[in-house]
């Protein structure tokens, strides 16, 4: 119970609103760069299940994605979404979470996280980082994993955030520019961190950040310094992450220990790099995180956590963390402390 006698919020479950979504095709005229941006938001409209491939704008790419879903291992990538397309926003003024996808992924790579956030009263906005998506990779034209691409992605995320704060993406969707956060998975973690770092102290700046399956400060993609991230932070790592490896997970924990403000670290047991993602195993390159594999440290055989469960854990942590530090809900801090006892994760806070 909270101070009013109402039951405490349980962020392991969907919140009181239904998720809705809107797709916008927008051009950043300053960079002459066309972007597809997805916005998830709360609605009172009952949501209906639809194919996740409906989120692919290009008809050719949609056919490709349907084919990938058909051949992917059963139970790995998400097949459906529950967001109501272009539904009327629920009454309210909503905090905003700017989300950045992983390397060669899609704006809906963590749709499950975005839908959970929307259900708890957030607007989640995510651009396709053009030139660095799954479909660019399939076409053999993806951008390299380097600081030039990081700068491009940072500008993409800032553009999406600014258009959201200006009310230009979804009609009739009031947002709260004083309550903003950033979220990123893999390369997106570095992207989300550098946006947080470079906007701290500015008007409508993010005030908290969550970084999944990659260390924001790292030697491969220099630009983020933990000493600059003076805001509440959440670090989420995967115990069997074959993409960043043991060295990357050590760096994630080192980043956590170097955080200058409140910080949380959760590691999901038997999870792989793509376990939090809706596109795990969509191609062989995205396989780590579903099915059987060998342990990073010992080489022994094991089975990854069920992808549905992995996505749900990541979504729950995001909803709890941003409710605590973007909305300022003290009860969400209590929930996070309770989540530290979940046997499916190891955790620390400082």
pLDDT in tens, 3-23: 444 568 999 999 999 999 999
Using an 8 Å Cβ cutoff, are 138 and 64 in contact?
yes
Tokens 């806070």 correspond to 349
Q: What residues make up the domain containing 158?
A: 18-349
Phi, psi dihedrals of residue 97, rounded to the nearest 5°: -120, 120
The predicted pLDDT at position 46 comes to 83
According to DSSP, the residues that pair with 282 across neighbouring strands are none
Tokens 């793509």 correspond to 274
| Domain harbouring 86, CATH code | 3.40.50.1820
Using an 8 Å Cβ cutoff, are 103 and 186 in contact?
yes
Would 34 be classed as within a structural domain?
Answer: yes
> What's the pTM?
0.97
**Rounded mean pLDDT of 247-268?**
98
Would 261 be classed as within a structural domain?
Answer: yes
Would 332 be classed as within a structural domain?
Answer: yes
Residue whose C-alpha is closest to residue 314's, from 134, 116, 122: 116
The predicted pLDDT at position 4 comes to 46
Q: Is the pLDDT score of 159 beyond 70? A: yes
The predicted pLDDT at position 29 comes to 98
Total of domains in the chain = 1
Measured distance CA(197)–CA(187) in Å, rounded: 15
| CA angle (67 as vertex; 65, 70 as ends), nearest 5 | 110
Would 8 be classed as within a structural domain?
Answer: no
Measured distance CA(266)–CA(236) in Å, rounded: 5
pLDDT tens digits, one per residue of 313-330: 999 999 999 999 999 999
The predicted pLDDT at position 7 comes to 66
**Rounded mean pLDDT of 169-177?**
96
Indicate the average pLDDT of the chain.
96
Would 341 be classed as within a structural domain?
Answer: yes
pLDDT tens digits, one per residue of 18-41: 999 999 999 999 999 999 999 999
Percent of the chain residues topping a pLDDT of 70? 98
Using an 8 Å Cβ cutoff, are 15 and 116 in contact?
yes
Using an 8 Å Cβ cutoff, are 81 and 50 in contact?
yes
3-state DSSP assignment of residue 214: coil
Q: Is the pLDDT score of 59 beyond 80? A: yes
Using an 8 Å Cβ cutoff, are 170 and 41 in contact?
yes
Would 12 be classed as within a structural domain?
Answer: no
Would 52 be classed as within a structural domain?
Answer: yes
pLDDT tens digits, one per residue of 208-228: 999 999 999 999 999 999 999
Would 9 be classed as within a structural domain?
Answer: no
Q: Is the pLDDT score of 2 beyond 60? A: no
């Amino acid at each position: 119970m909270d101070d009013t006698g109402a039951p405490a919020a349980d962020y392991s479950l969907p919140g009181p609103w239904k998720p809705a979504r809107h797709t916008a095709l927008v051009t950043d005229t300053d960079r002459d760069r066309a972007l597809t941006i997805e916005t998830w938001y709360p609605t009172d409209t009952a949501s209906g299940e639809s194919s996740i491939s409906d989120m692919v704008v290009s008809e050719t790419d949609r056919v490709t994605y349907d084919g990938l879903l058909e051949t992917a291992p059963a139970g790995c990538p998400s097949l459906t979404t529950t967001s109501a397309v272009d539904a009327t926003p629920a009454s309210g003024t909503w905090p905003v979470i700017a989300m950045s996808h992983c390397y060669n992924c899609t704006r809906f790579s963590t749709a499950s996280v975005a839908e959970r956030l929307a259900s708890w009263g957030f607007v989640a906005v995510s651009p396709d980082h053009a030139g660095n998506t799954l479909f660019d990779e399939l076409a053999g034209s993806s951008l390299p994993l380097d600081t030039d691409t990081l700068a491009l992605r940072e500008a993409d995320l800032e553009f999406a955030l600014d258009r959201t704060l200006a009310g230009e993406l979804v009609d009739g969707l009031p947002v709260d520019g004083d309550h903003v956060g950033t979220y990123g998975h893999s390369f997106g973690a570095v992207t989300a961190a550098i946006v947080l770092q470079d906007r701290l102290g500015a008007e409508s700046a993010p005030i908290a950040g969550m970084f999944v399956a990659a260390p924001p400060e790292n030697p491969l993609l220099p630009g983020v310094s933990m000493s600059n991230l003076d805001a509440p932070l959440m670090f989420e790592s995967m115990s069997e992450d074959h993409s960043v490896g043991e060295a990357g997970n050590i760096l994630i924990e080192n980043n956590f220990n170097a955080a200058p403000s409140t910080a949380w670290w959760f590691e999901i047991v038997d999870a792989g790099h793509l376990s939090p993602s809706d596109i795990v195993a969509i191609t062989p390159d995205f396989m780590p995180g579903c099915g059987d594999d060998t342990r990073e440290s010992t080489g022994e055989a094991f089975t990854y956590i069920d992808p549905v469960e992995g996505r749900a854990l990541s979504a729950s942590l995001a909803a709890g963390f941003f409710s605590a530090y973007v909305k300022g809900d003290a009860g969400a801090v209590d929930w996070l402390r309770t989540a530290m006892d979940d046997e499916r994760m190891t955790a620390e806070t400082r």
